[in-house]
Structure 1
Amino acid sequence: MEKVTYAEVGATAGTLPHGYHHVRVERDIGRGREVFDRASDDLFAGLVQRRAGADIELSEVPLREGTRVWMRLRVGPLVFHIPCLVVWAERTTDSCGFAYGTLPGHPERGEERFSLRLMPSGEVIFSIVAFSQPGRWFTRLGGPIARVVQARMTRRYLSALAPAPDRQR
């Protein structure tokens, strides 16, 4: 199995490491068991990334720890190849999620965690936690642009599990 390109595997579950850009966002995507179950199935099938505009292939569906993720993202005339490895995945009756880490060739170095929680009140909360830093010469050179692209993708990810009328295409 390939090794990820950073040492802090699993850090998206707790204190985020120093020296990285951090992201912590969440969104209420609806209410009830049906919303949670649908969103969980979509999350583990890679639909968050696909609905956000990335071409994605998973080595297995539903994804699990050890799943290889290949994404391609177009930004204007540029195409970025984004290889990742799922380093954590879990599904229980009221929470689920996965985290993937960057592999060699990824434009960044770091980890991103996607999780869902079915709250006792019935709300379904979708959370994204990430840490990253430039991993290639062009992301070091274009740092501010990379942050704009990351912020845009994070917003699109958050919309990807919302009820259909709210989804960005």
Structure 2
Amino acid sequence: MIFLCWSPPSRQEQKACVDNAGVFNYDSKYKGATAKHAWKIKQDRELSENGFLVNHARVLVGSGVETFEKGKRALQNWRHFSLNWAFVDPKTPIQRGVKFCVCSKAIFPWLLMPLEVVYVDESRSAVASFSFGSGTLQGHLLAGEERFSITMDEKNDVWYEILSFSKPANFLSLIGYPYVLLKQKHFACDSTLAMQKHLSAK
């Protein structure tokens, strides 16, 4: 089951995708795994032995409390998906259990990829952070989980981070996996640029 659309998907089409998507398409024992530090995920032998590849990007986007708070609001409003070839409905609430679609332009059609928010985490300790992780549902090209986070460290530097693990979920993504991996790298680059542009704007 794959969800396709020949033009940018409307909210009704996104809702239909979510309504027809199944349950999580990856093992429940990995649910919430992206809440761990990136180095732990990268060193997890079980993930790699089960065919998952880890994708990680962490970029400095500014400094100070104001930048952190602006970055947090940006994630909550899906600014990191404000791309001309990929988007999420910005009205989608970031709450555990909420299902949503990532709409991505492929070579010809648009792909609608269903996910569900697995966790939302916010910390106000020595390191301030806001993050959320989403797991793939049946109907998604990939099987796995992805986390987006904004963090302010002890030096008041603010970092935007993307962490995911995934593997092909069906035959189409298996034969096109090199292209899928390229799109993941492309997304990490474009999403980072979108966040940097948004946070630097006055």
State TM-score, norm by structure 2: 0.75
Equivalent pair of 1:101/1:110 in contact (CA under 8 Å)? yes
Equivalent pair of 1:22/1:132 in contact (CA under 8 Å)? yes
Larger Rg: 2
The CA distance in 2 between the partners of 1:104 and 1:34, in whole Å, is 39
Counterpart of 2:120, as a letter, is: A
SS in structure 2 of the partner of residue 161 of structure 1:
helix
Q: Which runs of 4+ in 1 moved over 4 A?
A: none
Seen in structure 2, the aligned counterparts of structure 1 residues 127 and 52 have a Cα distance that, compared at 3 Å, is farther
Equivalent pair of 1:58/1:69 in contact (CA under 8 Å)? no
Equivalent pair of 1:52/1:160 in contact (CA under 8 Å)? no
The C-alpha deviation readout for 1:61-92, integer Å capped at 9, x for no partner, is 3x121121212111231311111101011223
SS in structure 2 of the partner of residue 98 of structure 1:
strand
The CA distance in 1 between the partners of 2:175 and 2:88, in whole Å, is 26
Larger helix proportion, structure 1 or 2?
Answer: 2
Seen in structure 2, the aligned counterparts of structure 1 residues 111 and 71 have a Cα distance that, compared at 3 Å, is same
The CA distance in 2 between the partners of 1:60 and 1:73, in whole Å, is 16
Q: Does 1:127 align with 2:164?
A: no
Q: CA RMSD in A?
A: 2.2
Q: Does 1:28 align with 2:60?
A: yes
Aligned counterpart in structure 2 of residue 12 of structure 1, from 18, 29, 34: 34
Q: Does 1:144 align with 2:185?
A: no
The C-alpha deviation readout for 1:9-36, integer Å capped at 9, x for no partner, is 1121333322211112200000111110
Seen in structure 2, the aligned counterparts of structure 1 residues 148 and 60 have a Cα distance that, compared at 3 Å, is closer
Number of residue pairs aligned between Structure 1 and Structure 2? 166
Seen in structure 2, the aligned counterparts of structure 1 residues 82 and 111 have a Cα distance that, compared at 3 Å, is same
Between 52-61 and 22-31, report the one with greater CA deviation. Answer: 52-61
Give the structure 1 partner of residue 132 of structure 2: 98
State TM-score, norm by structure 1: 0.88
Equivalent pair of 2:133/2:145 in contact (CA under 8 Å)? yes
The CA distance in 2 between the partners of 1:30 and 1:43, in whole Å, is 15
Counterpart of 1:47, as a letter, is: R
The CA distance in 1 between the partners of 2:99 and 2:147, in whole Å, is 15
The C-alpha deviation readout for 1:69-127, integer Å capped at 9, x for no partner, is 21211123131111110101122331110000101111100000111111121100111
